[in-house]
Amino acid sequence: MTEGAGLIVFVAIIGGALRVSTPFMFVALGECLTEKSGRVNLGLEGTLVLGAMTAYAISFHSGSPWLGVFAAGCAGAALGAMHGYICKLPKVNDIAVGIAMMLFGTGLAFFFGKAYIQPSAPRLGSFSLGEWTGSQQIATALQINPLLLVGIVVAIVMAWAFANTKWGLIVRMTGDSAPSAKAMGVSVDLVRFLATTIGGFLAGVGGSFLSLFYPGSWNQGLSSGQGLMAVALVIFARWSPIRCVIAALLFGAAGAIGPALQSVGITQGYYFFNAAPYILTLFIMIASAGSKQAMRDVPGELSITK
Amino acid sequence: MSVAQASAPAAAVAPMRALSIETIGMTKIFGSLVALEDVSIKVEPGTFHALLGENGAGKSTLVKCIMGFYSADKGQVLLNGQEVPIHNPRDARAHGIGMVYQHFTLVPSLTGAENLVISRADAPAIIDWKKEMASLETFLQRMPFRVPLDVPVSAMAAGEKQKLEILKLLYLDQHLLILDEPTSVLTPDEADEMLGLLRGMAKRKDITVIMITHKFREVTSFCDSVSVLRRGRLIGGGKVSDLSTEQMARMMIGDTQIREGAVRAARPPGETVMELAALYADDDEGLPALEQVNLKVHAGEIVGIAGVSGNGQSELVEVLSGQRELTDGRILIKQKPFEPKRDSFYRLKIFGLPEEPLKNATVPRMTVAENMAFRTFDKPPAAKLGWWLSPGPMRAKARELIARYRVKTPSPETAISDLSGGNVQRAVLARELSGDVDVLIVANPCFGLDFASVAEIRAQIMEQRNHGAAVLLVSEDLDEILELADRIAVMSGGTINYVAPVGETDRATIGKHMAGH
């Protein structure tokens, strides 16, 4: 491999990280909020797919992709609210409900989405971080979407809010010790309901990115498990919104390895490199299972740790 | 304006802030059980009042009715002579009544400061930490004790947590404090310090304290007045200075027959049966829990391990019973390396009574008979060829044990989880002690039991010692250790830092080592 090709691969991976990471980021931030409140929502994969479908459909009908993004958020919030409501019923397990919600969300998306596979909807715009280099190749590779910046801002606001606002402290308290929260007159179910709903909204927005920016069309194989990987990513990020962003970028970069190598003509092991994010997920799960730090940071009320 | 700032000037104009409280005819009925029957107590402002009673006597029910957790079926609460309706804990809080529970209500992942600020009803939506920290500092300066504010509660010692709980109530401007066995997680020194400080605050008429306890020592040295409950009724009470410990004990127990404490048979020290050599183990979070534990236990001796809970005692018992892996070190039984496996337990005649036996030594939904057969179900006569089980002999054996150890159960076929705590303990003890015992490992055997069961179980342990068993007794109750042990070992910070024969040591020395000095 020449030096030039190495640079191209490097830029392509960075570009891929910037481009592919956004859905990971939104789903992870949504899950981070939900898990901080003491509940696991495994249904975000379904939320992501439904968000993608909704965004595409609304963008197609209204002509406004940003309206599509908002509608995707609302669809996600509705699924989140459903999860939150069902989980507060007695003797309901949030993991099982999450799996049901995942199937429900994807099923719903496929059902309503059939009609939108063919037509083409207006897509979200983008700008490039690479214009200044003067290189067309780099400029194209570093195309980014405003949603990425929104995601980073959301992460910073969330991190700040967890430490500096009453609501942030209440969410952490609910997630760490439900009896303490109850003793202070906080309604644990309400906090979790809201956290799951907002988490669903974020995941829905993440879905809109898939259909409206990259890959930029609606079809049934769009998500291929990104929502589930994002849940794993929250564990890796040890429930910190900022680390969620970094982890999402890392996953994005891993996902970009295959296409980046292909762009310089290396096709050997293409499918293997495309599987990089999945392999990464596996290793992260193994590594974090034994991590003592993760054990300390985990919210005490999570059913996966009980 | 924060509560802390608001209360500072109030203190200057109103020197008497302590509340008086009176309950009139409190009654609470759960189904067929009368938990509380016509209990009327009166606590003067600025006094330290003790609620004495055995487990299940109704102390907790009474304070929970006062706090609004339960609505009493009958009765009223008067605060400063006026009737106040309290429907939930929030009402109680609004009236200035606060409670410290046996389990902590602090949020582990939040820091001390975060815990205090969020506990306020008027916590600001956006917290200005600079301002809050400054007002917390001024608040702490008026307090008799302080705790680190910027450390997560999960990293605090039990004593600090307990202090923070109390600070929280004072921070919320509450002047009637109800404490539920507040010293169970403290070293004797910490307990004395904290109770002394609270007594001082009560003397200055800052607070009124009601403390649930069963330790007479705390009642006689810190409390002004006492109420004794038994089976949901107020049996007696009055000024502590007018009552002797014997009188209080008699009120608590009533005319229940208590088995005589087993006599310690004089016997020469036997050979070393169990030797722990430099044991290391980690806790659930992977942090070191045991660090170089060395101990020898001889035949016919009880070695008592004293210590504040959470200093590695549970992990030690788990290691010995095979529930936790050693990271380093070895256990020698009769000079041979010991692997905690079912087979070796049987061969070497090692038995145990772990703490919380319902969780650690039984399968709650299986029957009493099945639970009693855990040691013998795969040996004749309960099993043929080691796998064909016959319930007949199992049940017969269970009946015999139930009669011999006076286990109160409707039948051997009852699920063991339906039994009361004392009877679960007896059932497990029956299983463990029915054969020949060479080594006995016991952890907090009398926790939460009534006097009769306590005496019974202690006598059983002593009998095993007299028969030549090597007994390791882990207990958080120092009195229990002083009563039973031949030698005392103190555990602190995951290691044993002090061993002495019981005759050559005293409470103060032990307490000092419990605190890690």
- Residues from chain A that touch B106, judged by Cβ atoms under 8 A, are 177, 180
Contact A292 B287 (CB under 8 A): yes
Nearest CA in chain A to B114: A169
Q: Which residue has the higher pLDDT, A85 or A273?
A: A85
Q: Does B114 touch chain A (CB under 8 A)?
A: yes
| Percentage with pLDDT > 90 across chain B | 39
pLDDT, average across residues B5-14 = 41
Residue A293 lies in a domain: yes
Residue A305 lies in a domain: no
pLDDT, average across residues A227-247 = 89
Q: Which CATH superfamily is B350-435 part of?
A: P-loop containing nucleotide triphosphate hydrolases (3.40.50.300)
Q: What is the DSSP letter of A131?
A: G
Do the beta carbons of residue A204 and residue A74 sit within 8 Å?
yes
Per residue in B362-403, pLDDT (tens digit) is 998 999 999 999 888 888 778 887 788 888 888 999 999 999
Among the residue ranges A37-41, B329-333, B443-447, the one predicted with the least confidence is B443-447
Among the residue ranges A86-90, A170-174, B256-260, B477-481, the one predicted with the least confidence is B256-260
Residue A304 lies in a domain: no
Residue A52 belongs to domain with CATH number: 1.10.3470
Residue A285 lies in a domain: yes
Q: Is the ipTM of this complex over 0.90?
A: no
pLDDT, average across residues A23-48 = 95
Contact B285 A183 (CB under 8 A): no
Among the residue ranges A135-144, A209-218, A235-244, B419-428, the one predicted with the least confidence is A135-144
Residue in this structure with the two tokens 């106040």, named with its chain if needed: B84
Nearest CA in chain A to B117: A166
Nearest beta carbon to residue B118 from set A173, A179, A297: A173
Contact B118 A179 (CB under 8 A): no
**pLDDT level of residue B287 (50, 70, 90 thresholds):** confident
Residue A177 lies in a domain: yes
Per residue in B410-430, pLDDT (tens digit) is 889 989 988 877 788 889 989
Which CATH number is B3-253 given?
3.40.50.300
> Domain total for chain A?
1
**pLDDT level of residue B307 (50, 70, 90 thresholds):** confident
Nearest CA in chain B to A184: B119
- Residues from chain B that touch A185, judged by Cβ atoms under 8 A, are 88-90, 121
Per residue in B116-153, pLDDT (tens digit) is 999 888 889 999 999 999 999 999 988 877 888 998 98
Nearest CA in chain A to B88: A185
* Best A37, A174, A177, A293 residue to mutate vs chain B (most B CBs within 10 Å): A177
Residue in this structure with the two tokens 């060479």, named with its chain if needed: B438
Q: What end-to-end distance do the CA atoms of chain B give, in Å?
A: 43
Contact A172 B109 (CB under 8 A): yes
**pLDDT level of residue B7 (50, 70, 90 thresholds):** very low
| Nearest-CA distance B39 → chain A (Å) | 26
Q: What is the DSSP letter of B470?
A: E
| Residue B260: predicted pLDDT | 67
pLDDT, average across residues A2-28 = 84
Contact A179 B105 (CB under 8 A): yes
Give the residue among B223, B201, B149, B198 at the shortest CA–CA distance from B11: B201
Nearest CA in chain B to A294: B285
Q: Does B109 touch chain A (CB under 8 A)?
A: yes
Residue A302 lies in a domain: no
Q: Is B267 exposed, middle or buried (0-12, 13-18, 19+ CB in 10 A)?
A: middle
Residue A306 lies in a domain: no
Q: Residue B17: is its pLDDT beyond 60?
A: yes
| Residue B359: predicted pLDDT | 83
Pairing assessment for the beta strands B225-230 and B495-501 based on DSSP bridges = unpaired
| Nearest-CA distance A247 → chain B (Å) | 23
Cβ-Cβ contacts under 8 Å between A and B: the total is 61
3-state secondary structure of B26: strand
Phi and psi (nearest 5°) for B463? Answer: -60, -40
Do the beta carbons of residue B186 and residue B102 sit within 8 Å?
no
Residue in this structure with the two tokens 């092991």, named with its chain if needed: A269
- Residues from chain B that touch A183, judged by Cβ atoms under 8 A, are 89, 101, 105
Cα–Cα distances (Å) from A183 to A259, B100, B333, in that order, read 54, 11, 48
Provide the domain limits for residue A35: 3-297
pLDDT, average across residues A232-258 = 88
**pLDDT level of residue B5 (50, 70, 90 thresholds):** very low
| Residue B386: predicted pLDDT | 75
| Residue B2: predicted pLDDT | 42
Q: Residue A10: is its pLDDT beyond 50?
A: yes
Rounded Cα–Cα distance for residues B45 and B166 (Å): 18
| Cα B193 from chain centre | 19
Q: What is the DSSP string of A60-97?
A: HHHS-HHHHHHHHHHHHHHHHHHHHHHHHSTT--HHHH
Q: Which residue has the higher pLDDT, B58 or B178?
A: B178
Q: Residue B12: is its pLDDT beyond 70?
A: no
Contact B126 A165 (CB under 8 A): yes
Q: Residue B8: is its pLDDT beyond 50?
A: no
Residue in this structure with the two tokens 């009908």, named with its chain if needed: A61
Q: Residue B102: is its pLDDT beyond 80?
A: no
Count of alpha carbons within 13 Å of A127, Cβ hemisphere only?
Answer: 6
B137: CB partners within 8 A, 6+ apart? none
| Residue B4: predicted pLDDT | 42
Q: Is the peptide bond before B188 cis (omega within 30 degrees of 0)?
A: no
Q: Residue B68: is its pLDDT beyond 50?
A: yes
Structure tokens at B209: 């304290």
Nearest CA in chain B to A296: B285
Q: Mean pLDDT highest for which of A124-133, A138-147, B412-421?
A: B412-421
Nearest CA in chain B to A179: B105
Contact A165 B119 (CB under 8 A): no
- Residues from chain B that touch A298, judged by Cβ atoms under 8 A, are none
| Residue B258: predicted pLDDT | 65
Give the residue among B287, B264, B320, B286 at the shortest CA–CA distance from B465: B264
- Residues from chain B that touch A164, judged by Cβ atoms under 8 A, are 126-127, 129
Q: What CATH number matches the domain at B270-344+463-517, 2.40.50.140, 3.40.50.300, 2.60.40.2240, 3.20.20.80? A: 3.40.50.300
Domain definitions of chain B by residue range: 3-253, 270-344+463-517, 350-435
| Nearest-CA distance A57 → chain B (Å) | 38
Q: Is the peptide bond before B381 cis (omega within 30 degrees of 0)?
A: yes
3-state secondary structure of A165: strand
pLDDT, average across residues A114-143 = 81
Q: Residue B3: is its pLDDT beyond 60?
A: no
- Residues from chain B that touch A162, judged by Cβ atoms under 8 A, are none
| Residue A277: predicted pLDDT | 80
Contact B126 A166 (CB under 8 A): yes
pLDDT, average across residues B447-474 = 87
Which one-letter amino acid corresponds to residue B53?
G
Q: Residue B354: is its pLDDT beyond 80?
A: yes
| Nearest-CA distance B106 → chain A (Å) | 6
| Residue B471: predicted pLDDT | 95
Q: Does B165 touch chain A (CB under 8 A)?
A: no
Nearest beta carbon to residue B125 from set A166, A183, A292: A166
Nearest beta carbon to residue A176 from set B108, B119, B123: B108
Rounded Cα–Cα distance for residues B28 and B38 (Å): 9
Structure tokens at B289: 């829990």
| Residue B9: predicted pLDDT | 41
Residue in this structure with the two tokens 């038994």, named with its chain if needed: B230
Q: Residue B14: is its pLDDT beyond 50?
A: no
| Percentage with pLDDT > 70 across chain B | 95
Contact A173 B285 (CB under 8 A): no
- Residues of chain A whose beta carbon is less than 8 angstroms from a beta carbon of chain B are 164-167, 169-170, 172-173, 176-177, 179-181, 183-185, 292, 295-297, 299-300
**pLDDT level of residue B356 (50, 70, 90 thresholds):** confident
Q: Is A219 exposed, middle or buried (0-12, 13-18, 19+ CB in 10 A)?
A: middle
| Nearest-CA distance A238 → chain B (Å) | 13
- Residues from chain B that touch A165, judged by Cβ atoms under 8 A, are 125-127
Is there a shared CATH topology between the B3-253 domain and the B350-435 domain? yes
pLDDT, average across residues B181-186 = 78
Q: Residue B77: is its pLDDT beyond 70?
A: yes
Rounded Cα–Cα distance for residues B412 and B396 (Å): 9
pTM of the model: 0.77
